[in-house]
Amino acid sequence: MKLNDRKIREDLKRFSVPAYEPDKMKETIFLAKKAYRERLLSKRIGFWEFITMQVRFIGRWVWLSQAALLIGSLCLLNRFHFGKADMQPVFLLLSSAASVIAFVGFPEILKSYAHNMEEIEECTRFSMRKLMGSRMLILGLADLCSMTIILAVSAAGNASLILRMILYLFVPFNLTCCACLTVLDHVKSRYDGYYSGAICVACIMLFYKLALDKKYYEAAATGAWIVFFYISIAYLAIEIVRVFQSFNRVCFNDETLSAKWQ
């Protein structure tokens, strides 16, 4: 610091400021908190901000299960697949893993509904429909990411069979999702989570059984599974829209909301 600056600084120190009133500071804090809360209420949030906000509300066990499933699948793929001509263990694994991946997310989608939370959710800032829709989107994207990683690792060893691998991965996944969404759309019950779980378990067993059958692979080669693939994607798209639209209907038809004022 220059000598001149130091001298000026010392001189300026003589100009002291009177102490502020502590009550005024308390008032400022109170008003600032109020202004911040009002801003939160009137604030419009963007789509991705809403989605990232909802990610935090998805249970940790879902992410842990998803991660465990992915790591387990990759470990098994590494053990069975690489350096072996026989692809059956890989296909078996892919088919089973796809249904299990779908199985993990469904109870979470129905969490609020299954725990009688719909009245509270409806009173809050986001409607039940938005919440359910966001959960479906987040878990759907997470499932797709997991399956893409499994597919990429599987295809790394044998790229010529990638189309068949896509079919073995996505047809069981799509069919499991279609079955669960059909239940959600047509059976209006608090036990939909259990029904979905039961359907997923049935699908896992079915595809595991099919994977052991050699005809199953031949069907994929002849193109029967390609037809299945397209049909399942179309049906899945329709069901997603129907389920999404039905959430408000489900909530407002419920007896808890039909109670009259005494």
Alpha-carbon distance 162 to 47, whole Å?
A: 34
Stretch touching another protein by CB under 8 A, among 22-30, 143-151, 199-207, 254-262: 22-30
Check if the beta carbon of residue 22 is closer than 8 Å to that of residue 72: no
Nearer to another protein, 12 or 159 (CB): 12
- Exactly one of 28, 52, 116, 222 binds another protein (CB under 8 A); which one? 28
Please report how close the Cβ of residue 29 comes to another protein at its closest, in angstroms: 5
User: What residues contact residue 101 under an 8 Å CB cut-off, 6+ apart?
Assistant: 66, 69, 143, 146, 147, 173
Residues 34-53 that bind another protein (CB under 8 A): 35-37, 39-40, 43
Please report how close the Cβ of residue 14 comes to another protein at its closest, in angstroms: 4
The secondary structure of 152-172 as a DSSP string is HHHHHH-GGGHHHHHHHHHHH
Please report how close the Cβ of residue 109 comes to another protein at its closest, in angstroms: 25
Provide the 8-state DSSP code for 15: S
3-class DSSP state of 221: helix
Asked whether position 21 contacts another protein by CB under 8 A, the answer is yes
Residue 14 has which token pair? 């003589």
Please report how close the Cβ of residue 135 comes to another protein at its closest, in angstroms: 20
* Conformational region of residue 116, where left means phi above 0, alpha means psi within -120 to 50, and beta covers everything else: left
Alpha-carbon distance 157 to 45, whole Å?
A: 44
Please report how close the Cβ of residue 24 comes to another protein at its closest, in angstroms: 5
Asked whether position 17 contacts another protein by CB under 8 A, the answer is yes
Check if the beta carbon of residue 112 is closer than 8 Å to that of residue 131: yes
Asked whether position 259 contacts another protein by CB under 8 A, the answer is no
Nearer to another protein, 43 or 214 (CB): 43
The most distant pair of C-alpha atoms in the chain lies apart, rounded to whole Å, by 95
Sign of the Cα torsion 128, 129, 131, 135 reads positive
- Exactly one of 3, 24, 48, 60 binds another protein (CB under 8 A); which one? 24
Number of residues that bind another protein (CB under 8 A): 28
How many Å separate Cα 136 from the centre of its chain? 6
Nearer to another protein, 11 or 86 (CB): 11
Nearer to another protein, 56 or 215 (CB): 56
Nearer to another protein, 51 or 201 (CB): 51
Nearer to another protein, 125 or 186 (CB): 125
Asked whether position 85 contacts another protein by CB under 8 A, the answer is no
Q: What share of the chain is helix, strand, coil (3-state, %, to 5)?
A: 80, 0, 20
Q: Which residue has the tokens 């001509």?
A: 85
Asked whether position 33 contacts another protein by CB under 8 A, the answer is yes
Using CB under 8 A, list all residues that contact another protein. Answer: 4-5, 7-9, 11-12, 14-18, 20-21, 24-25, 27-29, 31-33, 35-37, 39-40, 43
